[in-house]
Amino acid sequence: MHSSTNPSETLKPVHWQRLLEISRTLSSTLELQPLLRQVLEVATELTDTEGASILLLDSQTGELRFAAATGQVNIGDNMVVPLEGSIAGWIVLNGKPLNLEDVQADDRHYQGIDVATQSVTHSLLGVPLLTREKVIGALEVINKKQGAAYTEQDLTLLQSLASQAAIAIENARLFQQSDLIAEIMHELKTPMMAITASTELLMYDQVKQEQRAELVKIIQHEVRRLSRMTRDYLDLARMESGRLNLEHQAVDLAVIVTEVIHIQRPQANNRFITLVYEGEMAAHPIIGDADRLKQVLLNLVSNAIKYNRERGVIAVRLNCLNGELCLSVQDTGEGIAPEHLSHLFQRFYRVPGSETKSEGSGLGLSIAQRIVEAHGGRITVESVIGQGTTFSCWFPLA
Ligand code: ADP
């Protein structure tokens, strides 16, 4: 077997074809175990090898564990491998590949594996599983067939596979952690509502030309927001793990309030609800992400409409108080009983009986809270049964 300085030259079209094929399959597989099996299958096939294994870092405990294995490797469920004192551990800690002709002669080799698998590892090729931000584990193939050593070509193929696999694994894990589908649906709802309302209005002959232009603008704006959201939907799940990427720009909340009121007015009108702004118009910039902040306010106002009584009132306020900027939404709905208040920001929590009043997933407020907190702020709620509810977002002034 030869070893080339430019490995890509030695790759056959059949290999690239297989990699391309697998990248399509991997990106559409959201269940972790089937995904790992596919990766192992392709890894053994591409490198002409006896066995393969995938080890993943447990994000909670920091332990490195076997997540899946094939071929002669038959690892007990989730066996832990020491980070210090194992080959996989070395790959993960260093973020580098390792090509060993004789594993037994390497003192990083973790003997526990051979004992557990009742097999002997001779040659090994391992690569880190790298996502955009970090190493999440390692992909290893062991015992090249015919006792030969792994080549540069094997390394190129395995690295290419690993980079696709890492992204797919990350996606599958996020999908498992969070009910991502429900979350996405919820996020899509608000812009969809704005678009639906605007298109409905456009069908009325009475709507004036300049209003039409305005509505088209809203539609364009919301469509852009939708496409940004589809791109960003994984970011939303990342909030869970505190890895949300926020813009850091000067944002004028007064502008956001005006936009949100404009968008929500048709929904409020449908229920004869008065929607007023009682804030200072002066600009009070905070540093943050305009889209996310708008998402928060859209949620609060849309809730205030949904859970209000017909012909009720909604007051949106923006005030400076003791070095903080307070953005609040007050409604004249039924109010929320004290025993439910503390649960409102939990995912999927809905006050019993809400289902009959309005559609919802119980995700909006937990997302809103995460966004506000990611801006260094906090969100509070006060409610009086029979009178209404006020949600307030407090932000440090820029
Ligand atoms: P959703 O509205 O989709 O159910 P949210 O997370 O936005 O999800 O809200 C969670 C729950 O909090 C709602 O189901 C509802 O029971 C309650 N809630 C939210 N806002 C209000 C409000 N303004 N007035 C009364 N109840 C509310």
240-289 residue pLDDT tens? 666 677 889 999 999 999 999 999 999 999 999 999 998 776 667 899 99
Total domain count, the chain: 2
Q: DSSP letter at 388?
A: E
pLDDT-derived band of residue 230, with 50, 70 and 90 as boundaries? low
Smallest CA separation from ligand 1 atom 14, residue: 350
Please give the average per-residue pLDDT across 289-307, as a whole number.
Answer: 94
Question: Model pTM?
Answer: 0.52
Question: pLDDT of 366-393, one tens digit each?
Answer: 888 989 998 999 999 999 999 999 999 9
Neighbours of 376 (CB within 10 A): 12
> From the alpha carbon of 354, which atom of ligand 1 is closest?
16
Among 155, 176, 197, give the residue marking a domain's end.
Answer: 176
Asked whether residue 236 is assigned to any structural domain, the reply reads: no
Q: Say which residue the tokens 């002034």 belong to.
A: 397
Shortest CA distance to 240 belongs to which of 367, 55, 83, 98? Answer: 367
CATH code of the domain covering residue 251: 3.30.565.10
Cα–ligand 1 centroid distance for 31 (angstroms): 31
Pairing assessment for the beta strands 378-384 and 313-321 based on DSSP bridges? unpaired
Mean pLDDT value across residues 145-171: 90
CA of 338 to the centre of ligand 1 (A): 14
Nearest residue (by CA) to ligand 1, atom 11, is: 350
Q: List the structure tokens of 336.
A: 């929320």
Q: What spacing in Å lies between the alpha carbon of 389 and ligand 1's midpoint?
A: 10
Q: Are residues 60 and 162 in the same domain?
A: yes
CB 288 within 8 A of CB 246: yes
**Three-state SS for 322?**
coil
CA of 362 to the centre of ligand 1 (A): 7
Phi, psi (rounded to 5 degrees) for 386: 85, -15
Q: What percent of the chain has pLDDT over 70?
A: 85
Residue with tokens 């809203």: 218
DSSP 8-state secondary structure symbol assigned to residue 76: P
Q: Domain of 149: which CATH number?
A: 3.30.450.40
| Backbone dihedral region for residue 2 (phi beyond 0: left; psi -120 to 50: alpha; all else: beta) | beta
154, 176, 198 - which closes a domain: 176
Regarding whether 152 and 253 lie in a shared domain, the answer is: no
pLDDT at 7 over 50: no
Would you say residue 290 has pLDDT above 60?
yes
Calculate the CA dihedral of residues 314, 320, 321, 324 and round it to 10 degrees: 110
One domain, residues 255 and 361: yes
Distance (Å, whole) CA 136 – CA 302: 39
Same domain, 170 and 258: no
Give the binding-site residues of ligand 1, using a 6 Å CB cut-off.
Answer: 299, 303-304, 307, 331, 333, 336, 344, 349-351, 354, 360-365, 389
Asked if residue 220 is part of any domain, the answer here is no
Q: Is residue 86 part of a domain?
A: yes
Q: Which range among 65-79, 184-198, 226-240, 378-392 shows the weakest confidence by mean pLDDT?
A: 226-240
* Element (DSSP H or E) covering residue 47: helix 32-47
Does residue 189 sit within a domain?
no
* Residue 325: domain span: 246-398
Ligand 1 center–CA 351 separation, angstroms: 7
Considering the domain boundaries, does residue 388 fall inside one?
yes
203 domain-assigned: no
Amino acid identity at 94:
N
**What is the band of 2 on the pLDDT scale with cuts at 50, 70, 90?**
very low
The token pair at 259 is: 């936009």
- Considering the domain architecture, whether residues 161 and 72 belong to the same structural domain is answered as yes
Q: Which two tokens stand for residue 272?
A: 């004869």
- Asked if 255 and 160 sit in the same domain, the reply is no
For the segment 48-67, the average pLDDT, to the nearest whole number, is 90
Is residue 1 assigned to a domain? no
Q: How far is the CA of 313 from the CAs of 254, 280, 300, 334, 346, in angstroms?
A: 20, 19, 14, 12, 27
Q: Is residue 219 part of a domain?
A: no
pLDDT of 225 above 50: yes
In this structure, the answer to whether residues 68 and 168 fall within a common structural domain is yes
48: how many CB neighbours lie within 10 A of its CB? 14
Tell me the mean pLDDT in the region 293-318: 95
The pLDDT, as a whole number, for residue 117 is 64
- Which residue from 344, 370, 387 has its CB within 8 A of the most atoms of ligand 1, so it is best to mutate? 344
